[in-house]
Structure 1
Amino acid sequence: MNFSYLTSAAVLAVATFGAGSLSAETVVNIGHGVQTGHPTHLGLLKLAELVKERSNGEITINVYPDRQLGEEREMVEGLQLGSVEMTVVSSGPVVNFLPEAGVLDLPFLFENSEHAYRVFDGEIGKDLLTRFDDIDMVGLAIWENGWRHISAKKPITTPADLAGVKLRTMQNPVHIRAFEKLGASPVPMAWGEVFTSLGQGVIDGQENPITIFYTNSLWEVQSDITLSGHVYGPHMFLASKSVWESWPEEVRQAILEALPEATAFQRAESARLEAEQSAKLKENGVKISEIDTAPFREIAQSIYSDFTFDPAVIERIRAAAKN
C-alpha cells in the first residue's frame, strides 16, 4: 500500500540508514492528546520500536501522551515555535492553522475507512500534507482517530432529539456549523474540560470515536452512544519544520522509513480496539444504538455550501470511494 507519509519538502535523496553513523544518540520527543490505550499511542510506540531497531539503537523516540505537552492547539502552536518537536493531533486545532484541511471534516464525506485510506494515501492526502510546509510544519502522515459518534444522557435517534442539546465539539468551525444545522447547541471546548463538564451538567453530550469514549471512561457520565458516524476523524502526524530540518538526515530517514509500517499498525489497532471496547462499554451499561443516518446526512450535508472548500477536491474525494 502506498502510504502518504511525507511532504515534498521532506523527500530526502539519501542513502539507507547505516551508511553513516550518528556521533551520539538522538532523542525525538512526540506529544499527543489521547490516553495510553488509544491506537495512536500504540502506533507511536510501534514507531519508536521500529526506529530504534533500524538505527541500531542510535535514535530514541519518547512519547508523551494525554496532553503532557499541552492541549492539542498548544502543541500545534509549539510546532511553529519549535518548542514542540512532533505531535499527532485531531483535525480540530489544525484547521485554525491550515483551513483547507477542514475539507476532511465535512460530515458524511467518507463511505468507510477504506475510502478514507485511499484518500489519505493517494494524491489528495499527499497534496494536503505538502501544504503544511507553508506554515512551518512538516506533514508526515494521516492516522486514524476513528468514526465520530454522538453520546448523551439520553438516546439520540433522530435530528429532533438534538434540539437544545448542549453538545461539546472540537474548536472546529465545520463541526460547529454541522451541529448547529442539526439543531444542537454546540459548545467548543478543550478536551481537558470535557469529563468534568459532563459530570456537572455544563454540557449534555459530546461526539467522539469509541476509543476516545472508552479510554476516557466517559461511561461514568454518559449513558447512550448513537452510532452516527457523522465524521471520520483523522489524526494528523506533524513535525516542527525548524526542528525537522535541524536533525541529521539519518534521523529523518529512519522515521520516514518506519512510518508506513507504523501507519498500518495504528489503523489495524484502531479497528481492533473499537470492536473490543464497544463490547466492554455495553458490559458497563452503555446503550449503543444503530440508527438510520439518512435524516442526519441530509441536514448536515447542507453545510457544504457554507464553506469555500474547492468543489473539485470534494468530488475527487467522493470519487475515491468507487476505486
Structure 2
Amino acid sequence: MRKRTFLVLLVICLMVVAGCSTVGKNEITKKINLKESELHPKEYPTTQAELYLSKLLEEKSGGRINLKVYPGGQLGQGKVIQDAINAGIIDMDRSGVEAYAKVIPMTETFIMPFLFRDESHVWKVLDGPIGERLAQEFEKHDIIILGYYAAGARSFYTSKPVTTVDDIKGMKIRVIPSDLFKNMMQALGATGVEILFNDIYPKIQTEDVDGAENNLPSYLTGKHYELAPYLVLDEHLFIPEFLYVSKKTWNSLSPEDQKLLKECATEAAKLQRKLWAEFDLKAMKELESKGVKIIKPNKEPFRKAMQSLYDKYPQHKELIKEIQAVN
C-alpha cells in the first residue's frame, strides 16, 4: 500500500513538475507557482471560479503569481490529493465540510438536516462570525480557508412518488458515507445505503435502492432521472464547500501575497455563487424538459421528523441554536 501511494504521488509530482516546487520563489523574478486540484470538469461553476482566481492573481501580481488549476480530477481525488498536499506537491484544493466531520467536530453541525432556512441564510452564517470560527477550526488542522462555495440544496429523488413524509418510510435511499446521513434516513423511517456516486444509476436499476439525495446538477448529470423521475424538493441540506490552501504554502507567502490571495479568492467565491445559481436554475429547467415530476412537499413534517436525529447529537445543540438565530 505504501509503495502504491508513493508511486501515485510520484506521478502527480511529474504532472505538476512545470512548477518545480510547491511555492517556487526565484530570487530574481520572485515568481510564485501554485498548483490546485479540482475534481469537477472545466465548465463546472467551481472550476470556472478557480480559473477566474488564477486570472486575477496573474493580473494583480503583474504575472508574478501563477496558479495552475488541474480540473477533471487529473491529479486524483480523496486521500491521494490530501497526501499530495501534505507532501507539498499540491498547494490548493476544494472540499465539502462533510469530508472533515470525523476530524473537526464543528463541521458535523453543518451537515445536520434543515439547519439552514435557505441559501441566503447559508451565506449570512458563513460570511459572518460563525464562518470565521469554522475557518479557525480548519486552521488548527493546517487548512487555510480562502472562500466558501455554493453546492446547492440537496433533495430526495425516487423511483416512486413521495408527496408526504410517510411515503418515504420503508424506502432504501443512497447516502454519502456518513453515520449521520444513515441516521437521518432512519429518522424518516427509511434505510440509508452508502453507495459511491458512480454506482447510483446501476443500483437504482437493479432496485437495490429506491432513490438517492443530492443537488440538482448531480441528479441531472448522473442521469438518475431516467430511473428515479420523482424529484422531492424538500431541500433538507445545504452543505457548504470551500476553497483552501495548505498552511505550509500559506506560511511560505509574504503577508502582502497572503492578502492578495485572500482578496482574489473572495472575488472568485462571489463569482462561483453567481455561476452556481445560474447552473442550478438551468438544471431545473432541463430536468423539467425531460419529464421529471417535481414534487414540492410540506417541509414541516420532514423537519419535525428530524427531532429524533437532533437528540442523538446533543453536542451540536448550542451551535445549531446560534446558526438558526442568524437573520
Which AA in structure 1 matches 2:69?
V
Is 1:254 aligned to 2:260, yes or no? yes
CA RMSD of aligned residues (A): 2.5
Residues 38 and 211, structure 1, Cα contact 8 Å, conserved in 2: no
Deviations 1:244-287 (A, max 9, x none): 32345554333211122111111111212211210011112222
1:168 — aligned with what?
174
Cα distance in 1 for partners of 2:182, 2:267 equals 34
Q: Which residue among 229, 238, 242 is the counterpart of 1:232?
A: 238
Shift of 1:156: 2.1
Cα distance in 1 for partners of 2:250, 2:259 equals 11
Helix, strand or coil for the counterpart of 1:309? helix
Q: Which residue among 298, 302, 314 is the counterpart of 2:320?
A: 314
1:46 — aligned with what?
52
Cα distance in 2 for partners of 1:220, 1:29 equals 38
Which AA in structure 2 matches 1:188?
E
Residues 157 and 212, structure 2, Cα contact 8 Å, conserved in 1: yes
Q: Which residue among 114, 117, 124 is the counterpart of 1:111?
A: 117
Q: Any gaps of 5 or more consecutive residues in structure 2?
A: 1-26
Deviations 1:55-108 (A, max 9, x none): 222223222334333334553455445454221122231213212111111111
Cα distance in 2 for partners of 1:192, 1:28 equals 30
1:158 — aligned with what?
164
Cα distance in 1 for partners of 2:43, 2:296 equals 25
Cα distance in 1 for partners of 2:40, 2:209 equals 21
Q: Any gaps of 5 or more consecutive residues in structure 1?
A: 1-20
2:189 — aligned with what?
183
Shift of 1:32: 3.1
Cα distance in 1 for partners of 2:159, 2:69 equals 34
Q: Which residue among 32, 53, 72 is the counterpart of 2:38?
A: 32
Instruction: Indicate the larger mover: 165-174 or 285-294.
Output: 165-174
Q: 1 or 2 for the larger relative contact order (CA 8 Å, sep ≥6)?
A: 1
Shift of 1:300: 1.6
Which AA in structure 1 matches 2:74?
Q
Q: Go from structure 1 to structure 2 and tell me whether the alpha carbon gap of 1:236 and 1:198 turns closer, same or farther (over 3 Å shift).
A: farther
Residues 160 and 210, structure 2, Cα contact 8 Å, conserved in 1: no
Identical-residue share of aligned pairs (%): 27
Residues 52 and 59, structure 1, Cα contact 8 Å, conserved in 2: yes
Residues 98 and 107, structure 2, Cα contact 8 Å, conserved in 1: no
Residues 159 and 183, structure 1, Cα contact 8 Å, conserved in 2: no
**Residue correspondence of structure 1 range 61-100 to structure 2 within 5 A:** 61-72=67-78, 74-76=80-82, 78-100=84-106
Cα distance in 2 for partners of 1:30, 1:272 equals 24
1:205 — aligned with what?
211
Residues 45 and 63, structure 1, Cα contact 8 Å, conserved in 2: yes
Shift of 1:157: 2.0
Larger C-alpha radius of gyration, 1 or 2?
2
Cα distance in 1 for partners of 2:70, 2:81 equals 11
Cα distance in 2 for partners of 1:41, 1:285 equals 29
Helix, strand or coil for the counterpart of 2:103? coil
Helix, strand or coil for the counterpart of 1:89? strand
Q: Which residue among 115, 137, 158 is the counterpart of 1:131?
A: 137
Residues 154 and 224, structure 1, Cα contact 8 Å, conserved in 2: yes
> So what's the TM-score if we normalise by structure 2?
0.83
Which AA in structure 2 matches 1:75?
I
Cα distance in 1 for partners of 2:58, 2:202 equals 39
Aligned residues: 302
Shift of 1:305: 2.1
Deviations 1:156-186 (A, max 9, x none): 2223322333322122332221112112221
Cα distance in 2 for partners of 1:80, 1:272 equals 35
Q: Go from structure 1 to structure 2 and tell me whether the alpha carbon gap of 1:263 and 1:163 turns closer, same or farther (over 3 Å shift).
A: same
